[in-house]
Structure 1
Amino acid sequence: MTMHSPPQVTPFERPPEQVAFHRTELSVILSLYGRMVAAGEWRDYGISCLKEVAVFSVFRRTAEIPLYRIEKRPKLRNKQGMYAIVGTGGQIMRRGHDLKAVLRVLERKLIRSVD
């Protein structure tokens, strides 16, 4: 019986890469988030940076499941677009190549009729 030890990572090797939002992407997302907080729609958020996807989750309350997930999947860059808005039930509300265009789905929730 042979035992295999995990491969040793030298200081010169990079750890496994993870996907993250860029500063410009975060500024667009946080701008929308601030307007939704001011409107009383959203209250909390969470950011997850995983190996294949970066997720910005939006919550109405802290202890709930997210209302929306804004996902960045670079592997879909050349196919359907790397940005997606995922609703509570897991349905994809919008997918595309341009983050601002994808976020317009959520901005429509800000527009209300004034009597």
Structure 2
Amino acid sequence: MEASPRGMSDIVAFQDFRPAKGQAAQPLQAVANPAAPPVVFFDRREFAQILDLYSRMVGRGEWRDYAIGHDRESCSFAVFRRSADGALYRIVKTPKLARRQGAFAILGQGGRILRRGRELAMLLRYFEPKRDALA
């Protein structure tokens, strides 16, 4: 088995994971790649807020499907009226923009930015029904 320049092997055979006769099994340790950027995703609180909104909109019959995606710089939660159509809205988190325009954005069909903000809860109010002043 050949070692790569970093000292790690590229291909590991199954036999390498089994202890030799008379030796105790050693626990495997996760090797983090320090050169890889951290993965961007919604944290638990943010994801709970988004799923709460999604469940209310499904209950109203406005949304029927969703998709989650991410890359190095952002993550997104897209909602669909029908799964065959394009996304109605995308809720996007881009931490690089947190100090400028805010880390969160709502994008409409075609990628148009409808709203941007620093706090997700305030941003999600965009989807709340407008109340009449007369009622």
**TM-score, normalisation: structure 2:** 0.71
The residue number in structure 2 matching 1:13 is 33
SS of alignment partner, residue 121 of structure 2: helix
Match of 1:69, SS state, is strand
Moved over 4 A (4+): 7-10
Partner of 1:106: 127
How many residues get paired? Answer: 106
Please list every run of 5 or more consecutive structure 1 residues that lacks an aligned counterpart in the other structure.
Answer: 1-6
| Distance change (3 Å), C-alpha of 1:28 and 1:12 | closer
> Is 1:32 matched up with 2:53?
yes
Higher relative contact order (CA 8 A, sep 6+): 1
Counterpart of 1:54 (choices 57, 75, 87) is 75
Higher gyration radius (CA)? 2
- Give the TM-score taking structure 1 as reference length: 0.82
Q: Which residue of 2 aligns with 1:41?
A: 62
CA RMSD across the alignment: 2.3
What is the percentage of aligned positions where both structures have the same residue? 49
